[in-house]
Amino acid sequence: MTTTELAASAAAVRRRRRLAPYGFLAPAMVLFALFLALPIGYALYLSLRTVKVSGLGLGKGARTEIWAGFTNYTAALTDPEFIASVVRVTLYGLLLVPTMLGLALLFALLLDSRRTCGKGVSKIAIFLPYAVPAVIASLLWGFLYLPGVSPFYYVFEKLGWDVPDILSAQWVVFAIANIGLWGGVGFNMLVIYTSLKSIPSELYEAARLDGASEIGIALRIKIPIAMPSLILTFLFSMVATLQVFAEPMTLRPLTNTISSTWSPLMKVYRDAFTRDDIYSASATSVVIAVATFVLSFGFLLLVQNRAFAQESRS
């Protein structure tokens, strides 16, 4: 092999090396472009369009798609139904998130405590509801909520208690939050429990030597160290709250009290698939996506210094 040939093949190897990273990236980039970037772009495009009908709107060519500017957005933001759904979901989140995370933390601490027995079984029992799909969970709870078929109401009646209908207007938000609670505690407990497990046992020994009780250890050592995982679970829960859909949608046919626009995502679904107006549905979903983004990152910015300071210092 001559030197020029060697140089040429070396250049080829170098060129291949330079291209290799792109080759490795390609599958991810293609998938990202096709299933993430492109749909987002298309939704943005659709949100700026609308359909105009001429005359009776029957027959071919009666409908034409035109530019709408920001009218879909102004309509979405000023729609009282949308604002009402945001208020409902805020109330739902205020009920659900603190209860769910509180219980998850409590269970995690109990499981982590030295004196607890039957840890394996309890862990699985608390985690199992998370494995039940939200639609199935809602159907099951729906049965339990309907006084006519519910074993709970049967017992209440036998006991002579007058328990109000949980699907009535003032209680229905509790009924929906309860399903989220039932399904969500286990997952959040597991995240918090895992971070508790990573605390070195020397810390506990030192604390006990200093005379700290189990509760003192939980409050002063475990919770502060588990704070990043609490923040993470809070963030997940907040996003899930904004996107609540399956539970109210599944309960809706069972009651008069859940409207077709109960949650913001239900409004998107109604507009897109019941009203066949994909354009305003796109605009509303863009608004929800932006709000989710702003809230999540706003929250992260707010707590970043406090929560992750320890980690960066250590």
Partner 1 sequence: MRLHTSLRLAAVVAATALLATACSSGGGDETTDGSTGSGEKVELTFWTWAPGMEEVVDAWNAKNPNIHVTVNKQDGGDPAVTKLLTAIKAGSGAPDIFQTEYQKIPTLVSSDALADIADVLPDGTKDHFAAGTWEAVTLGSDAVYGVPQDSGPMEFYYRDDVFQQLGLQVPTTWEQYAEVAEQLHTADPTKYLGTFSATDAGWFTGLTQQAGASWWGIDGDAWSVEINSVQTLKVAQYWGDLVEKGVIDNKPMYTPEWNAALNDGTQVGWLSAIWAPGVLEGNAPDTAGKWKMAPMPQWDGDNATGNWGGSASSVTSQSKHAKEAAQFIAWMNSDQEAVNILVSAGGLYPADIPGQAEALANPPAFFSNQPDFYTLAGQIAQTVTPFTYGPNVNVAYSAYNDEFGKATEAKKASAFTDAVQAMQTATVDDLKSSGFTVKD
**Tokens describing residue 8:** 């040429």
The distance of closest approach from Cβ of residue 178 to partner 1 in the complex, given in angstroms and rounded to an integer, is 18
Pick 178 or 263: Cβ nearer partner 1: 263
In angstroms, what is the minimal distance from the CB of 22 to partner 1? Answer: 25
Least spacing, CB of residue 253 vs partner 1, in Å: 6
Angle ∠(141,109,173) on CA atoms, nearest 5: 25
Could you give the CA distance from residue 254 to residue 87 in angstroms, rounded to a whole number? 22
Residue number with CB closer to partner 1 (24 or 273): 273
| CB nearer to partner 1: pick between 7 and 62 | 62
In angstroms, give the least distance from the CB of 258 to partner 1. Answer: 8
User: What residue ranges bind partner 1 (CB under 8 A)?
Assistant: 35-36, 39-40, 42-44, 51-63, 142-143, 146-149, 168-169, 235-236, 239-240, 243, 252-261, 265, 268, 270, 272-276, 278, 281-282, 285-286, 288-289, 292-293, 296
Nearer to partner 1, 150 or 218 (CB): 150
> Rounded to the nearest whole angstrom, what is the least distance from the CB of residue 184 to partner 1 in the complex?
13
The nearer residue to partner 1, 133 or 216, going by C-beta atoms, is 133
Q: Which is nearer to partner 1, 82 or 107 (CB)?
A: 82
- Quote the least distance from Cβ 156 to partner 1, whole Å: 15
Which is nearer to partner 1, 189 or 266 (by Cβ)? 266
CB of 243 to partner 1, least distance (A): 6
